Amino acid sequence: MKNQLGVADYGMDVWYGGNFNLRQRLELLRDCGIGGIEWLKGSSMSEAVQNAAEFHRMGMDFASCNMSNVELTMKCACAFGKKYVWITIPAGRDVPFEDYCRRANAFVEAAKYYGLKAALHNHLGTRVESPQELDDFMKAVPGASLLLDIAHLHAADGDCVEVIRKYHDRLAAVHFKDIYYKDKSIGLDKWGQRLRFCELGGGNAGMDMEKIANELQKFNYDKWILIEHDTHLRAPEIDLKKSADLLKELFK
């Protein structure tokens, strides 16, 4: 596949209780046929360099950085030639939308200084959750990119194909995962009780992964494809390999 295939490894941290050895995690992912992790992490520039060396020694890569503070994150992403960083400002549902957008615009300008795109990650329970909020945000923060999470959007009654069509030229990366509804009578305000996110093909939400992949390819999307399984019910490598194999078929 022409896209780089990686993992947003939050779910692995939940399963194992953390990431205790970067080399071991990279070996596990490499054995699954996966080429990297979304974030290089570290508490200092020195640690970032050491970790980046470990990635590249193993023939692996990372999409962006997530360091101990925002400015260090931007400096590291710039230094390692990455394209985007997450917009990381307070994003709870209680934050006034106008305040969120004002701060996001400031974040965008700070990232631009380092030659980076600042990407919004749509997420249930945050300030930008619904399709309408996403549209409003993209209009109010015209310099922002979108790190599209197809499952969070689908769970908020969004149309992934429509959003790709609308914002294909502003995509920074795409998170792929499936949805398993546990109890649809529970509202989105308690989304963790309503559903869990899982491996591709393991859901019951009727997500059409092939249609979504085809829409991305229609616009020659060639950036990172990131598997994200928030909840593992068995050894993560089983689900990750299943999702990786499916994505390789969809993005030939």
Angle (CA) 36 37 41, round 5°: 130
- Angle subtended by helix axes 236-250 and 209-218, to nearest 10: 50
pLDDT tens digits, 147-171? 999 999 999 999 999 999 999 999 9
pLDDT tens digits, 62-82? 999 999 999 999 999 999 999
DSSP sequence for 47-106: HHHHHHHHHHHTT-EEEEEEESSHHHHHHHHHHTT--EEE--S--BTTS-HHHHHHHHHH
* pTM confidence score: 0.97
Q: Which CATH number fits domain 5-250: 2.30.30.40, 3.40.50.1370, 3.20.20.150, 3.40.50.300?
A: 3.20.20.150
Length of the chain: 252
Residue among 214, 215, 209 nearest 227 (CA) = 209
Check if the beta carbon of residue 141 is closer than 8 Å to that of residue 148.
no
pLDDT tens digits, 113-135? 999 999 999 999 999 999 999 99
CA 67 to centroid of chain Cα atoms: 16
Domain layout of the chain by residue ranges: 5-250
| 193/175 Cα distance (integer angstroms) | 21
Residue among 62, 72, 70, 7 nearest 40 (CA) = 62
